[in-house]
Amino acid sequence: MCPPAVIGAALGASSATAAAVGTSVYVGLASTAMGVASTRLQIQGQKMQARMQARTQENASKVERQRYLNEVSSLRTQQAQEQVAMAQKLQANKARAREARATARVSAGEAGVAGLSVDALMNDLTRKEAMYNNSVNTQGQMLDVRRELSLRDAGLGFTNNMLRINRPIEEVNYAGALVSGAQTGLSTYGAIK
Q: What is the pLDDT of residues 56-112, one digit of tens each?
A: 999 999 999 999 999 999 999 999 999 999 999 999 999 999 999 999 999 988 888
4 pLDDT higher than 70: no
Long-range Cβ pairs for the range 59-65 (8 Å, 24+): 60/165, 61/162, 61/165, 61/166, 64/158, 64/161, 64/162, 64/165, 65/158
In degrees and rounded to multiples of 5, residue 127 shows phi and psi of: -60, -45
- Assign 190 a pLDDT band (cuts: 50, 70, 90): low
The tens digit of pLDDT for each residue in 23-51 reads 555 556 667 777 777 788 888 888 899 89
Q: Which residues, 6 or more positions from 97, have their beta carbon under 8 angstroms from its beta carbon?
A: 125, 126, 128, 129
What is the pLDDT, as a whole number, of residue 189? 60
The answer to whether 187 and 49 have CB atoms below 8 angstroms apart is no
What is the pLDDT, as a whole number, of residue 20? 47
What is the pLDDT, as a whole number, of residue 37? 78
8-state DSSP, 112: T
What is the pLDDT, as a whole number, of residue 180? 74
In degrees and rounded to multiples of 5, residue 168 shows phi and psi of: -60, 140
The answer to whether 77 and 151 have CB atoms below 8 angstroms apart is no
Q: Which percentage of the chain shows pLDDT scores above 90? A: 52
Q: Which residues, 6 or more positions from 143, have their beta carbon under 8 angstroms from its beta carbon?
A: 79, 82
CA distance 11 to 6: 9
What DSSP string describes 6-34? HHHHHTT--HHHHHHHHHHHHHHHHHHHH
What is the pLDDT, as a whole number, of residue 193? 63
Rounded to two decimals, the pTM is 0.64
Average pLDDT on 162-177 reads 84
- Residue 124 has a CB neighbour count (10 Å cut-off) of 13
- Assign 188 a pLDDT band (cuts: 50, 70, 90): low
